[in-house]
Amino acid sequence: MSQQPNLHGLFERARTLPDADARDRLAQLVGMDDKIKRLSNLLSVLINPAGLQRWLAQHHADGGHLLEAVLRRPPLVVLSGDVGSGKTELAETIGDQVARQENIDITLLPLSLSSRGQGRVGEMTQLVSAAFEHTFNEAAKLKSANGAARGGVILLVDEADALAQSRESDQMHHEDRAGVNAFIRGIDRLSNGKLPVAVVMCTNRLSALDPAVRRRAAEILVFDRPDDAQREEVLHRRLGPVGFRRADIQAIVAATGAQPKRPYGFTYSDLVQRLLPAIVLDAYPTGPIKPARAVELANSILPTPPFKDS
């Protein structure tokens, strides 16, 4: 007889939103206003459709068919793009804005990669099924008879291609194929349940996701590396207050962009997690940060190479 999987360790950093940390992290995302608005509105409608129903009644009383077209979609969103492009940071924090907009608590359940198991027969299927079962049960507690959600759940699946890779590959192991089947069944069960829940998947390899998963996505948002204006905004927020002039920042923008021998620039994480700390630590503890030295450091750091989606 197979044992039921232990939920301990299946989710990482489960948290309740809104909270101040998520709000502040979301506010730090630069150049994503359109994506933040689209994702926030989409998740708000998937989790709490009563708000959309009230809006439609006020502005488009005869738009019932429009409402049906929006609400019949599966509660799945895919965030796809290069490494360090901010998709995971957005996925981890967007629930704060949804919670504040809808005036409800959102439970964020980040699925651990341990849900792949260790390759034992049936293990991955059991773990994936258990994760969706737990998500379903948590969301079911928050459904109300009048349609207005008392709360919501977001299941976050980072590195989603590790769990939902395409079954079309001839080299795919039977256990992985069964796990993908369980993943699709989980999405369909959440959809059929009409629960206050959404699944957000992040991947660097959109083409590696199973076609049946991609077809079920209510929306696929694609993330790119920051352009010159976006890099300038990231740098200005941090370096402007310590005395960097616009010309200083623009010199760093040029150094962190595409080059003749390097046809790609820095990612968001290259800027925030590598360059800016390097600038600070280079000056500490002997003296202030110097713009010319910051430019030298920017020229010396190699950005993360693009992830090849093949």
CA distance 165 to 101: 34
pLDDT at 308 (0 to 100)? 77
DSSP state of 145: T
- The share of the chain scoring above pLDDT 70, in percent, equals 93
Nearest 5°: phi and psi at 3? -85, 150
* Percent helix, percent strand, percent coil in the chain, to nearest 5: 50, 15, 35
Residue 150: pLDDT band with limits 50, 70, 90: very high
Helix locations, the chain, DSSP H = 20-27, 33-47, 50-59, 64-71, 87-102, 123-140, 174-193, 211-216, 228-239, 246-255, 268-269, 276-283, 291-300
Q: Is the pLDDT of residue 3 over 60?
A: no
For residue 1, pLDDT beyond 80: no
pLDDT digits (tens, 9 = 90+) for 81-122: 998 999 999 999 999 999 999 999 999 999 987 666 555 546
Is residue 117 within 8 Å of residue 162, measured between CB atoms? no
Query: Following DSSP, what letter does each residue of 60-88 receive, concatenated?
Result: -TT-HHHHHHHHTS-SEEEEEE-TTSSHH
Q: How many Cα atoms occupy the beta-carbon half-sphere of 283 within 13 Å?
A: 17
Region of poorest pLDDT, from 54-58, 147-151, 183-187, 266-270: 147-151
The DSSP bridge pattern shows strands 197-203 and 219-223 to be unpaired
What residue ranges define each of the domains in the chain, with the CATH number in brackets? 15-223 (3.40.50.300), 228-300 (no CATH)
Enter the tokens of residue 90: 């957005």
